[in-house]
Structure formats: C-alpha cells, structure tokens
Structure 1
Amino acid sequence: MQGRKEYTEKQITCFQLSNRVPKHNLYRRLKETLNLTFIYEATEQLYGSTGNPSIDPVVFFKFMLIGCLENISSDRKLIQHCSMRMDILYFLGYNIDEPLPWHSTLSRTRKLYPEVLFEAVFDKVFSLCVASNMVAGRRAAIDSAPVKANASMERLLEKQPQRPGPKLLLQTEDHNGSVDLVPKPSKRQAASVITAADHQLRQLKKRQQNLQCAPTTLGASNEKAQLLSNKTHYSPTDPDARISIKPGKARKLNYNCSLAVDTAEGVISHVQADFADGRDSQTLPDITLKLQQRLSHNELRLEELLADTGYSNGSNYALLEQWKITGWIPVFGQYKPQIEGFPYDPEEDHFTCSEGKRLPFKTFDKNADGGWLKVYRADYQDCKQCPLKPTCVPKRWSATAAMPTNYQNGL
C-alpha cells in the first residue's frame, strides 16, 4: 500500500538543537573548539554604556566565518542560509524559533570594527591551529588572485590635472594671530588627481590613437574605442579599486588578494589585499615580513617559500637570501643569466662583444617591479661603424646590456 506523508503545522514544545546535530558535524566541532570570548574585551571600547544592545560581537565573527566556509559574500544571502541550517543555528547559539539579526546589522558592524580587530581574530585562530599541531611553519606557499571590487566600470570618472603649488598651504593669520592650514584631501579627492608622469600619459595617448585607427573586421575604424587606464580614470564609489585584467577575462575593477598557506595541513597563515594594478613580485617582501612576524609570535620560523614566476624578481631573491629563507621561485622566462655572443668578465665587471669591444658597467636603473638593474653600455664610437650593429643585440637595447644586481657576477 502506498503511503503518503501529510504535513500539519504544529507548535514544537520539546526540541533541542544539540540532539539534532551529529557529533562529527563541522559546526558542532567548531563550537566545542573555537573560543572567541576574548572579542568581548577587544570590542568593549567601541560601544557606549547606554542605548539598545548591539549584536553579540562573537556572533558577528561567527557569521563572518560561516560566510567564508559557505562561500557566501552577500549578507542578505548569509542570513537566509543560516536560518535554514540547524547545525549553523546551534553554532551561532540561536534556537530554531529565534529570529536572526538583520543583514544590515552585519554591514554596519563590519564598518564599526577596525582592521586591527580582524587581524587579532585571525592571529587567535592561527594560534589555535598551531596549538593543535596543524601548522609546521617551516614551509609556506604564496599565490594571489583578483577579487572583484564592488564598483562598476561604467561609472568611472576622468582624473583631473594636478594643480600647481604645495599640498599643504598656509592661510593668512586672523585677528587672534592663529594660522589655519588647508585640510588634507580625502581619499576620493586624492584619487581624482593625475599622478602619472608625462611620458606615461604620452604612451597611453599613443596607444589610444593606435586602437582607434586599427581596422575592424568590416574595414572601418574604431573611432569610439577607448582603453580606460588607472592613470587617467578612477572609481568615485571605491577609490582604492583598480582596473586589471587576466588572460581570457574582461577588464574589471579588482583588488589583488594574496594568500600564504602552510604546506603541512593547508592552514592559511597570512591574507593580504593590495592594489590590483601592481605586480605580485612587489608584494612579496611585505607578505614575507608579516608572515615571519606571525610565525615568530608562535615560536616558529619560516625556512622555505614557494611561489610562481609572478613573484620572480632579482631584489626578492636577494632579500630572501638575506633573511636566510630558501626561495623556490622559478626565474621569469624572459630573463637570461648569460647573453649569447657577449661573454661576461666577473672580475672586471664588463661584457665583451664578438668584435672584441668592451661593454663596461655605466649606471643603475630600475625595472617595472622597482628592482635595480645594472646597465652596461659600449662606447658610441665603437658601435657607430661596426658592421654587426644591426644584428648583434636587439634594437630596443641600443647596444646596452642590463643585468639584475643579484646577477652582477654572472651567476
């Protein structure tokens, strides 16, 4: 006989969430292990002594943890998701008939808490992982990924030229003899001013002209084509957002999120957000320094660092060697430690071309990552009448050889 379940809504008089959540459930184990009571003391000075009670600070950080574990970035969706999960309600400390906070409460509380408080919670959880022998600390792997900013490319505004004059001006004295100072510009005002060099703007303008003059598939020109740049445009809603692009992806306003993971059990040991228009190699020194500080507070020491070629940089290699850290970072594909046809003399620090002319060290320069380069250049008279000049070196070098400073001995 076929059975049919008929549902009749009724009031539950005897029900316990703890009896419905299995012992092996993740959130039950978190509730029994994770002790966040220190947050009460850390947030006490952020609240007054009168008024309506706020959301429990511990509950707020539990909501943030659930959002990360469930991959939910929207506060509205997070509240809806938590209200349908008995194990999450048990972890939060809410009964099944107890309403959860409004999603706007999470947004306002997030803005209230300073950055140092979130870092303190991260350090506390990391210390608990160390105490549970989940972190070895000897080897860490670093990588990054773009994180979409809450801003639209369609609302970008054009930057204005920087006005001449000092950034901080003095006003005339009043009748009391006091002097007023021009207030420091806000983050939005600072982002709306062009700070790029003139030669960078000229290069960008030339690229714009080439883009507009390039023929399309139908043979017409792209008169309305425009390549927006961080040098000329900014987001009024999120001044820290930067235009970036990855192969196969559209140009968007992003942040660059870097993660350091301990290779023992995959525990995240450091998280950092940077501007999306920078290179990964530029963030490596700051990430490594902060990672070492966190490990040293837990009596651990970083010995090896793993990263991809995006973090390859001569100055980074030298810095890791100075800090006695073995860097497993592949050398960038375009770098060549030796130049074919130009043998290097490490004792006298010069190259020699195939015609026997010397290219001595001339000066220092910087690459796009901000790292130092050593520039070797032949004399003008030696190259002027040389028959091999058109083919001996690339045209862009103009008879100049540049080597990173950490490879100055030809290693």
Structure 2
Amino acid sequence: MQGRKNYTEKLFLSFRLSDRVPKDNLYRRLRETLDLSFLYRDTEELYGRTGNPSIDPVVFFKLLITGYLENITSDRKLVEHCGMRMDVLYFLGYDLDEELPWHSTISRTRQLYPESLFEKLFNKVFALCVDSGMVSGRTQAVDSAPIKANASMESVVPKMPASPMDDHLKKVSEENGATGQKQAKTASPAHISAPEHELKRVEKHHRNLREGPVQLMGASHKKARLLSNKTHYNPHDPDARISVKPGKARKLNYLCSMSVDTAKGVISHIQADFADGRDSQYLKGIGLKVQDRLGQNELVMTDLLADTGYSNGSNYDFLEQRKLTGWIPVFGKFKPGIEGFPYDRERDEYRCPTDRPLPFKGLSTNKYGTVLKNYWAAPRDCRACHMKPQCAPKTRSKKIARTIYDEQYLRAYARQHSERGRQMKRLRQSTVEPVFGSLTQFYGLRKIGVLGKAGAHKVMLMAAIAFNLKKYLKKGGGKPFISILKVIMDALQGLLTDFHWSIQSRPILIKA
C-alpha cells in the first residue's frame, strides 16, 4: 500500500539538541574540547556596571570561529546560517526557539575587543596543538601574501603637499588661536612624507608611463600605475596600501605575514602588515614573536625557512645572533665575489688585476640607509695603469663598495647551493604555501571585511585559529584517548581467538 506523510505542526514538542547531534560531529567535539571560560575574566573590565547585558563573550568568539570554519565573512549571513544548523546551535549553547544575537552586535563587539584578546585565544589553541604532539618547533617556514582590503582604487585621492598645508595651518592658527590649529590638524588630509629622492623616482616612473604605449593588462594599465603610496591614499581606509602581484591588477591590500611549523602544518604566528613594505623588514619581529611563543610551550626553534623576499644582511645577522639557521636564498643581484679582484680576508683588502691593493677606507651610508664598506685604490696606482679606461673610466681611482654583512651573505649563499638547502626549499614550498591557499579559499581570508590594520590583524588571527582547530580535531584532538598497548593487546587477542577456533574446527585424523 502506498504511504503518504501528512505534516501538522505540533503545539508542544519534546526535543533536545544533544540527542540530534552525532558524537563525532565537528561542532560537538569542538564544544567538548575548547574551553573559553577565561574570556569572562579578560573582558570584564571592558564593560560597565549598568545598562543592558551585552553579547556573551564566549558566544561572540564561537560565532566568529563558526564563520571562518564555514568560510562566511558577512556577519548578517553568519547569523542566518547559524539559525539553520542544529550542530552549530548546540556549539553556541542556543536552543531552537532562542533568538541569536543581532548581526550588528558582532561588528561592534569586534571593534570593542583589543587585539591582545584575539592573540590570547590564538595562543590557547596553539597550546592545544602542542599538547597533542602536532608541533615540533624546530623548523618554521615564513611567508607573506597580500590580502584584498575593504577599499576601492576608485576612491584613492592625492595626498596634500606638506609645505602649503603648513602655511594653511599657520594662517588658521593666527585667526582662530591654538584651538583652531588643533582642529585643523585633526581634520586635515594625509601629507606627503616620502623623501625627495623617492618622489623623484616616482615622477620618473610616471613620465615613462605617459610617454610609453598604453597596455591593456590590468597589472600594467597606465591610469592604475600612475597611483603610488607616496602620493595617494584612500580616506575610507588609510591603512590600506596599493600593491600588485605579477600578472594581477593593482589593488588596495594588507600584507598577511605568517609562520608555519613544518611538522604538521600548524600556524605558529600570523600578523597584518602594511602592503607597501618589504617582506624583509618584518622578519625580525616575526622571529622574536615565534621564538617567544615556542618558548612559552617549552619548544626550541633551530631553523627558519623563507623565500628571497626576506633576504637581507641584517636579517642574516639577526638570525645568527639568535642562534638560528636561516635558509633564505640571497637576492639575485648579490655576487659572492668581484671578477678579477680577489679579496684578502686577513688584510681586509682587494687586489686588482695588476696586483695593486684596494685597502679598506671607511664606512658610508647611501640614500636608502644601507651601510657600506668602501675600498679605494691609490690614485697614483690607477693613473699609471693601462687598464684604467676599462676599470675606472669616470673616477680618479677604482672604488669597491660592499655591504657590512658580506660574510653573512656568503654563508647564506653557501647554504642556498647545498643539498640541504635544496631540501629546505622544497620543504618550505610544501608547507607554508598550501596553508595560504587554504586560508584564502576555505577560511574567509580572501578579503578583509573590516577597516584598519588592527581589524585586519583580528581577522587574520581568527582565520588562523579556525585553521588550527580544524587540523587539531582532524589529527585526533578531542577524541577519547586509546592506548597503543591496548590496541596491540586487542589485536593479539583476536588472533589467538581465531587460532583457537581454527584448531577446534580442524578435523582430527586417526591413523589406522
């Protein structure tokens, strides 16, 4: 007989979420594993004693974790999604008939809580991974990638020159007094703060673009390339910076710098930086924070892996002082030696092809702040040399300038071209780069949905927390612990039982 289901809503219902959520469900295991009770103590001073109760801090962070686990970056869509998932409601501690917090409350609470609170939650999740044996600490891979900011290139405006603005503020001060000057400074737009030589380089680049043919690719479009962080900014999000990846259009981005432990791919550090800075200028801060976090968990770092963007003499020296082996390839323009000019380490001098000395003369600093060691030949030696037109055609004598970190560069160059160096390069590529791909594609880090560098840092921390939690639960965290000895004993017991039954079922042959 054909069956037919008739549905009629019941006025009263006996229902428990815990009975409907499976034991191995991700959010059930997460609720049983992650203890966030410390948030009540750490957020108590952020609230007053009167007024309406705010959103529960534990519920707030559980909502954020759910959003990044589900790859949902919109607070409005997140609340709608959570209301339709029984396992998420059980994780949040809400019943079916309870109303979830309003989406705007999530945004306001995110702005209220400091970055240190998000970092404390990251440290707690990282400690869970350490306790489960997923972090070795010895080898860390560092890399960075631009993340799209919540700002458009169409809203970029020029910065005001410094001198006319100073004259304007002086005039306002004379007319309205000190109070007027203070208000004018507060409301004034951004000033050009780049050095003169950098502005000249930008102007030369723009002049070449105007005179050259217009190209159609987004990364090299004339109008977009005429914009520079030295002369333009976005008033909607002043912390966002113009940057470009090869083959991509110029956008306003933040730089996501990250460190990953090579044992199981656990993120050991993540931070938001300005996108117009060099990767190399952030390595020291990353190294110190990673070492401190590992030290708090009684782990020791010995090796650091990074790409050529982190190649810098001061970085090599910093790693050696911290007793770390830096597997960072030197940049392409570095030359381990000067052809035809051998170096004498004992005398600290070079020798020219005619065996004349170029002794060390002193230190100097170029316009970029790089400290150089200068070696000069005597003018009388070069004056009588037949090779001067080829060796030093425009100067009185041959001059050689080398970085003060030349020895550190040479040691890094030797490590780079060793067999171990090639292995470390493959290890870095297989560790940190897939993690970046996972964060951008599956953990809500394709675009920063908030404003400001501090907000971007919170977003990156929450994406890393969700990633580490997912990996922790996948590798066995939160499941009942089963002794290896018990597994072996159960297997042996099973083999003995099978052998016993096989002996009993074997026919007995009686020899006549």
Alignment TM class, shorter chain as reference = 0.7 to 0.9
The match for 2:278 is 279
The equivalent of 2:201 in structure 1 is 203
Cα RMSD over matched residues? 3.5
Partners of 1:275 and 1:185 in 2: how far apart? 27
> 2:42 maps to which residue?
42
Structure 2 contact 225–250 (Cα < 8 Å) conserved: no
Aligned length: 396
Q: After superposition, what is the alpha-carbon deviation per residue over 1:139-187, rounded to whole angstroms, capped at 9, x for unaligned? A: 2111111111111111111111224979x99x99xxxxxx999759989
Most deviating of 338-347 and 104-113: 338-347
Q: Could you tell me whether the CA contact under 8 Å between 2:363 and 2:371 is conserved in 1? A: no
Structure 1 residue 42: Cα displacement: 0.5
Please name the residue that 1:141 is paired with: 141
3-state SS of 2:162 partner: coil
The 3-state SS of whatever aligns with 2:280 is: helix
Q: What amino acid is aligned across from residue 83 of structure 2 in structure 1? A: S
Whether the aligned pair in 1 keeps the contact of 2:215 and 2:222 (CA below 8 Å) is no
User: Does structure 1 retain, via aligned residues, the 8 Å contact 2:363–2:374?
Assistant: yes
Bigger Cα displacement from structure 2, 380-389 vs 275-284: 380-389
Q: Is the 8 A contact 2:255 2:275 kept in 1?
A: yes
Question: Using the alignment, how far apart are the partners of 1:13 and 1:23 within structure 2?
Answer: 23
Bigger relative contact order (CA 8 A; separation at least 6):
2
Matched residue type, 1:203: R
Q: Which residue of 2 aligns with 1:150?
A: 150
**How big is each residue's C-alpha offset from its partner over 1:36-68, in whole Å with a ceiling of 9 and x where there is no partner?**
101001101111122111111011111222222
CA shift in 2, pair 1:185/1:350, >3 Å: farther
Unaligned runs of 5+ in 2: 412-512
Would you tell me which structure has more helix in proportion to its own residues? 2
CA distance in 1, matches of 2:143, 2:322: 20
Provide the rounded CA distance (Å) in 2 between the counterparts of 1:265 and 1:294: 17
State the shift of 1:5 in Å: 6.6
Against the structure 1 CA distance between its residues 116 and 225, is the aligned structure 2 distance closer, same or farther, given a 3 Å change threshold?
closer
Separation of aligned partners in 1, 2:119 and 2:275: 21
Q: TM-score, normalised by structure 2?
A: 0.69
Does structure 2 retain, via aligned residues, the 8 Å contact 1:241–1:275? yes
Alpha-carbon offset, residue 94 of structure 1 = 1.4
> Where do 1:385-404 residues align within 5 Å?
388=387, 400-404=399-403
Contact (CA 8 Å) 1:135, 1:267: kept in 2 or not? yes
Q: What is the identity, as a one-letter code, of the residue corresponding to 1:310?
A: G
Q: CA deviation at 1:6?
A: 6.7
Q: Give the letter for the 1:207 counterpart.
A: H
Does structure 2 retain, via aligned residues, the 8 Å contact 1:315–1:372? no
1:266 and 1:256 map into 2 onto residues whose CA distance is 20
Q: Give the percent of matched residue pairs that are identical in Structure 1 and Structure 2.
A: 60
- Residue 312 of structure 1 contacts residue 332 of structure 1 at CA under 8 Å; is this kept in 2? yes
Residue type at the aligned position of 1:359: L
Alignment pair present for 1:253 and 2:258: no
CA 1:51–1:402: 2 relative to 1, 3 Å: same
Q: 1:44 to 1:342 in 2, by over 3 A?
A: same
Measure the CA separation in 2 of the matches of 1:62 and 1:270: 21
Gapped regions of structure 1 (runs ≥ 5)? 173-178
Alpha-carbon spacing, 1:163–1:19, altered in 2? closer, same or farther (3 Å): same
TM-score (norm 1): 0.84
Which residue does the alignment assign to 1:317? 316
Deviation, 1:347, is 1.6
Partner of 2:296: 297
The structure with more radius of gyration: 2
- 1:242 counterpart residue number: 241
Deviates more, 1:52-61 or 1:357-366: 357-366
